[in-house]
Structures are given as C-alpha cells and as structure tokens.
Structure 1
Amino acid sequence: MIGVMLLGLAGCASKFQRYSGPEVTRVVVFKQDRKMHLLSNESALKSYDIGLGFAPSGHKSVEGDGKTPEGQYRIDRRNPNSEFHLSIGISYPNTEDRARALAVGQRPGGDIFIHGRPRKNRKGGRDWTAGCIAVSNREIEEIYAMVRDGTPISIYP
C-alpha cells in the first residue's frame, strides 16, 4: 500500500519549479573553467559545473563547428518540451556573428541553449553538445525557474 502511494506521489513531481528569491540580473559563463554563475547584481546566487560543445575552445563561427559562442547575448526564449528536459535559449547569432559567418561563405548556426541531458547522453562525457551549455536535469529545472527572458548572458573563453 505504501509503495503504491509513493509511486503515485512520484508521478506528481513536476519539472517546473517556483522561484521567489532575488532576481537573476545576469548569467556569466567561463568556458575554460566549465562554470556558470547566476548573479543578482554583483552577488552570485548559484554556480554550476557545465558541459559545452564537442569542440569547446574558441568562439562559435559557423554552423556545425561544435563550438559554444563567446560574447554578450540575452536569454531570449524557453522550451518546456525540449528533448533535453528543459531549455532556455541564448540569442546567438547576433549581427556580428552573422557577418563573420557570411564573410567566409557560411551560415552561423543557431539554436544555442542552456539545457539538461537527454537519456542518451546521461552518462556521456563533459563536452558533448553541438554548441550549447549543458547542466543536469535537476539543475536546468532550477535555472529555468530562476532566469527570465531578457536576462543578459556573458560567455567568456
């Protein structure tokens, strides 16, 4: 009987959390350190270990290069039905990114997100994405609740 009740409660768990703490005013990513910080003004609220694109060094310049972009962007969308549990979008490519790719006759790519891990990559290595920023599913649930669309994100080498 207790087992059935616990199983029923587990089915009620939601990946959508509520957050009522200080506003996240900026997201900062340090690629080399594999760290992401959620800031409220100058105070760090949370920090996360992250995974990056499968070719983590350098700025993303063209579609398919496996690099995570570097620069100043914004959180611009969210996907509650992501194949990566949950995801929040980064506004890559910007005008400069498009111009740089066009200058070499390529497309800049897109669909860069902060997201969780799909089942197939659950036990994969650290840098496995096509250019996104990966955290655990539990962590993306927290980040999804805390970070609002329009929040600036700075991604450093």
Structure 2
Amino acid sequence: MWTEIDSPVGRLRLVEREGSIAAIDFFPFTYADGRPRGDRDDQHPVLLECARQLAEYFAGDRSVFDLPLAPIGTEWQQQVWGALLEIRFGETATYGDIALRLGKTNAAARAVGLANGSNPIPIVIPCHRVIGADGSLTGYAGGIERKQLLLDIESESLF
C-alpha cells in the first residue's frame, strides 16, 4: 500500500509492506526501481502514522521516529542503514565515521556512500546526516537542496 503527502521537501510517497514502512520516495517518483507498492490506501494505519510523524518532524516537534521499518537491501546495506539510525537528530557523521562504526577502515567510506545512496527510507533512516570528510554536503538521492533543508530543519529545532 502507499499514499502521498506534501512536505517542506516536496511531495513524498510513503510505501507500506506487511505492516511496515518499506520506502519513502521523493517526487518525481520513479517506478523502475522494482520496489513493491501495491494499491493506494490513504487511510492505512501505518501510512497515517508515518505521515503524522513526518509532519511532527517537519514542524520541529519530533526528533526520533517510532515506526516499523522494512527496508529492502543487501546485508551490507542493512548494516549501513542500521548505523545511520544511530546518528542523533541534529548531528552529522562522515562516510568514514560510519565505516569505522561498522568495524571497517576508512577505505570502506565509498562502500558506505553507495549503501547510503540506496537507502529506501530517507528522512526516517537519516542518510541526510552523512557528510563528506571535509564537511561538504556530498551527494543525496533527493538532491543537495533537500539535504540542506533537512539539516536546517534539525539545526533550527535544536534552538
């Protein structure tokens, strides 16, 4: 099941699978990625809860999400996405930091970047909080402008 919502970062498609959030897609939506979507259901309880928590996040009233998540990916991607969930609201980490947290050397930073870019549940799994070693806002599947806006939302909510 899926639904769409408006947000400060543009239209989002929320996707549910077997009672969990499986994806959050940025507009323009693509269909070639093979993710299961099913039928549209604007009243599905998990999708409604996800929409509510996202609205609270964008309003600066939520810093931690409490949703059932089911991202589809390889074992390595799952490990990276799990590490992303440990980056606290308003904080950032580098690709090298994530590699080290996973017991790898800094040389694995590129592999972390690839897994980070494949995150199917952005915002909730906070891939926007990962930055380059020099502090730059390196690539983001939703675009650098969205990444900056998400980081701004978090920094403004801290004060």
Q: Same fold (TM over 0.5)?
A: no
Of Structure 1 and Structure 2, the greater helix share is in 2
Normalising by structure 1, we get a TM-score of 0.27
Q: Quick one: higher RCO (CA 8 Å, sep 6+), 1 or 2? A: 1
Structure number with bigger Rg: 1
